[in-house]
Structure 1
Amino acid sequence: MEDKYINLLTDFGFKRVFGTESNKDLLIHFINLSLPEKHKIKDLKFGDKERGGERKEERKVIYDIYCTTKTGKKIIVELQKTKQEFFKDRSVFYSSDVIRSQAPKGEWNFELMPVYTISILDFIFQSEIENPNYIHKVQLRDENGQVFYDKLYYIYIELPKFVKKIEDLETELDKWLFLIGHIHELKNRPEILKDKIFDKIFHTAELANYTKMEKIQYQESLKIHRDLVNSLAYAEKRGEKRKLLGIIKNCVEEGFTIRQISLITKLKEEEIKTIIEEQGWG
């Protein structure tokens, strides 16, 4: 039986809810629930999701969602589905690219606009540390714990740690995180999720509202998502996930084509592309 609502953990679903002009109000609402009170935003405009380096040999940076507020604040919102060894480094690299892009040509007093990174993770990124918290807010602080620089802010949300059931949802952020991870499992809209702000989410996520072509695009995205989840789960079960990712990384560095990597790893080409993009090896 076909699901009533799309899976927001697919590339199609995530960008349909968060990355379209018509749903900009949803993105603003989610961002404001994630940020501290003094950092709240009122409006934003979407920016170019792909940035190239200043020199030809520099690596391209591709964001899921990149936007700027009316006051100039820069915001990166991303969905990360696979764990990677240097995820924190990648996160800092992406934000530093946004910092560097603010430098104009000519004279400049070095004043920067704030940069916020909100990462929704479908994995536990600090599994070596026992911490029940599923939201991590990170800033640059000095040895006394005082904020040294308040214009660089990271928020990491570990979805696997968010285990609240419908009846346990309390805050609006609770409800958002539940919908991101589980809306595709719902057959009907629960009473607790009938806040007005969620009207648009349910309407956007309902497959009955999509054209035939949009449904095809979603099904393709869903298949890639399921194949990736199944492949990594199988590899992890056999203790081979790290090895598999290492093979793909080495192949990319050696200049192998997607087709060649697919033949070597037995993964589908779309799965390879997704892994390479998420690991930042492109």
Structure 2
Amino acid sequence: MQKKEQEYFADRALYYTARAIVQQGIRGIWDYHLAPVYTVCFMDFVSNSPMLKEFRTDLVLTDLQTRQRVSDRMRIVYLQLPLFDKHTEAECMDIFDCWIYIVKNMNMFEQMPFSEKYPVFRKLAEIGDLRKLSREELELYDEDIKNMRDIYATRKFDEKKGMEIGMAKGMAKG
């Protein structure tokens, strides 16, 4: 999950997608047959990029003139979670909506939603049950939570400090 925008985020996604493609190469005789590579970028922010204006943006290799897809071997999907417009379980119309709703709201659930309709979510609940983690896994989980909270607190502090500096500059200019 990308928590905060960075200047070359799209280039970073392209780099890791290309790397996964290149790593399929075989030394010696090879016919260049590639398995498809899908990169899904979960973004916990709204991008300033003019290319990314919707909740979901799918990028593929396409001919500019004909708009025909050239290859099905590469796809980059950007999901801007703040733009996901389903706020209740009842609004989720298909399994994709359910997945995104769960990813976006995972920390809020007492019980896993949609598990009666889609058995995959029952399995997800089993996997995500903290009580089943080993001591080492729980320590890693706690460390991740600490890091997430530190990042959040740092970002909030940076925003507050930036506002104070901006206000001071604005007041100085009159």
Which has the greater radius of gyration?
Answer: 2
CA offsets 1:136-179 (integer angstroms, 9 cap, x no match): 11111112211122211111111111141222111111111111
Per-residue deviation at 1:85? Answer: 0.5
Of 129, 134, 141, which aligns to 1:218? 141
Where do 5+ consecutive residues of structure 2 fail to align?
A: 164-174
1:235 matched residue in structure 2: 158
Tell me the secondary structure at the aligned position of residue 111 of structure 2: coil
Matched-pair contact (CA < 8 Å) for 1:141–1:147: yes
Identity within the alignment, %:
28
Secondary structure of 2:11 counterpart: helix
Quote the Cα distance in structure 2 between the aligned partners of 1:136 and 1:239. Answer: 30
Secondary structure of 2:74's match?
A: strand
Out of 42, 45, 48, which is 1:120 matched to? 42
Contact between 1:120 and 1:157, CA under 8 Å: does it hold in 2? yes
Matched residue type, 1:90: R
What is the CA deviation profile of residues 198-226 of structure 1, one whole-angstrom value per residue up to 9, with x for unaligned ones?
11111222223233443332111101011
- One of 121, 134, 139 as aligned partner of 2:55: 134
Whose RCO is larger (CA < 8 A, sep 6+)? 1
CA contact (8 A) 1:175 1:193 kept: no
Paired residue type of 1:136: T
Residues 39 and 75 in structure 2, CA contact (< 8 A), matched pair in contact too: yes
Paired position in structure 2 for 1:188: 111
State the match for 1:201 in structure 2: 124
Change (3 A) 1:199 1:149: same
Of 97, 104, 114, which residue of structure 1 is paired with 2:19? 97
Question: Match of 2:153, as an amino acid?
Answer: N
Q: Rate the CA distance shift 1:89–1:189 in 2: closer, same or farther, 3 A.
A: closer
Written as runs of structure 1 = structure 2, the 5 A alignment for 1:153-168 is 153-165=75-87, 166-168=89-91
Could you tell me how far 1:86 is from its partner in structure 2? Answer: 0.4
Unpaired segments ≥5 residues, structure 1: 1-78, 241-282
